[in-house]
Amino acid sequence: MNGDLVPISPPEARDLHLEAMKDDSAEWTRTSHRSHLRAFVEWCNEEGGIDNMNDLNGRDLYEFRVWRRNGGYSEGQNEEIAPKTLDSALATLRSFLRFCAQIEAVPEELYEKVPLPSLSASEEVSDSTIAPERVPPIIDYLHQYQYASRDHVVWILIWHTGARLGAVRALDLQDCELDGQKKGLNFVHRPPSTPLKNDEKGERFNRISDRVASILQSYIDGPRNQVRDDDNRAPLVTTQHGRVTASCIRDSFYRWTRPCMVGIQCPHDEDPTYCDYTSFQKMSMCPSARSPHDVRKARVTKYRNDGVPRGVVSDRLDASEQVLDKHYDRASKREKADRRWRLLRE
């Protein structure tokens, strides 16, 4: 059965797969694959006894599924993972095995033996979100005490445009039109270093207010580092070393969604003097901490509660109306009823 296969170890196959993905996959997709495949390689080494991909079979794949579902991963918590996380991990493994078949490391049909879980409608959608009314006080605090800082800028970019983290990273100085009557930002797909989620289809020009433009100009004239990235481009949002990283942007959201950081009493009855979550290393673990993606969801919910048509929100945020309804609009049943009622009364 394995006579026509070429021996290769799991780590070597993974590295080839990730290298091949550089040709046609976005950075965040490679990051996700790298994370999930780290768990698979660990299982091969520690549990499965697999040192040659040629030896992998359907029973091994089922045993990996059970191990992964039960939290068997050194970076996990040794407890069952969410069905959506398991589905993502196994979908990544399928993709990896299809690549392995192309390089003659496994049989062509092996990927079909990866058992995917059946997800309910609720399990397909992340519960993590932030109430829209929590965001303006955070931005007001940054406006007063961190004006035109990098954190202030990434917050207003995501809140006022609804852009994804990757789209904010991708902005160059030349993409900013901050003078004149029609100020705005031009989101451009520039792979492989700064791709947009939906490639060229995600390119768009979004208008911004005079206030947002003024903050951006103050940042450019002030604390922004005058640096170039590895492609000799001038990023809008920078660090001392070049274009801001995705983790740096995430950290700014974890940092400021902790209530104690903006002068709000801790809703978890913790004393900030002694709370572990006040440290940089653990700030993302604060029960109130939220990601940029959660703030993007809040932006959608706010737009829809304010009566902005679904199609307008779809175009501005580069997401289909179906995706907006399923994954982004986190309004309650009563909020949605209020929207319908406003239209019915007109």
What would be the CATH architecture of the domain defined by 132-294? Orthogonal Bundle (1.10)
Q: Which of 4-13, 65-74, 122-131 bottoms out in mean pLDDT, i.e. has the lowest?
A: 122-131
Q: Which two tokens stand for residue 124?
A: 């397909």
Closest CA to 290 of 328, 247, 256: 256
Q: Are 99 and 17 in contact (CB under 8 A)?
A: yes
CA pair distance 111, 298, nearest whole angstrom = 37
Q: Which of 1-5, 51-55, 236-240 bottoms out in mean pLDDT, i.e. has the lowest?
A: 1-5
Region 45-51: mean pLDDT is 89
Which residue ranges does the chain devote to CATH 1.10.443? 132-294
CA pair distance 185, 177, nearest whole angstrom = 6
Peptide bond into 10 cis (omega under 30): no
For the chain, what is the radius of gyration of the CA atoms?
23
Query: What pLDDT, in 10s, does the model give residues 261-311?
Result: 999 989 888 898 889 899 998 898 898 898 898 898 888 888 888 888 888
pTM: 0.67
DSSP for 253-311 reads HHHHTSGGGGTPPPTT---TTT-GGGSGGGGGGSTT---HHHHHHHHHHHHHHTT--HH
Kindly state the percentage of the chain with pLDDT values over 70.
87
For residue 1, what pLDDT band results from cuts at 50, 70 and 90? very low
Q: Are 90 and 114 in contact (CB under 8 A)?
A: yes
Predicted pLDDT of residue 339: 63
Angle, CA of 21, 24 and 30, to the nearest 5°: 40
Kindly state the percentage of the chain with pLDDT values over 90.
52
CA pair distance 55, 107, nearest whole angstrom = 10
Closest CA to 325 of 342, 316, 313, 334: 313
Which residue ranges does the chain devote to CATH 1.10.150.130? 10-113
For residue 328, what pLDDT band results from cuts at 50, 70 and 90? low
Q: Are 177 and 209 in contact (CB under 8 A)?
A: no
Q: Which two tokens stand for residue 279?
A: 């440290």
For tokens 């289809």, name the residue. Answer: 201
DSSP for 169-208 reads HH-BGGGEE-SSSS-EEEE--BTTTB--TTGGGG-EEEE-
Q: Which of 89-98, 120-129, 204-213 bottoms out in mean pLDDT, i.e. has the lowest?
A: 120-129
Query: What pLDDT, in 10s, does the model give residues 98-143?
Result: 999 999 999 999 999 987 766 544 443 345 678 889 999 999 999 9
Give Cα 155 to chain centroid, integer Å. 15
Between residues 92 and 29, which one has the greater pLDDT? 92
Sign of the Cα torsion 335, 339, 340, 345 reads positive
Question: CATH number for the 10-113 domain, one of 1.10.3720.10, 1.10.150.130, 2.60.40.1120, 3.40.630.30?
Answer: 1.10.150.130
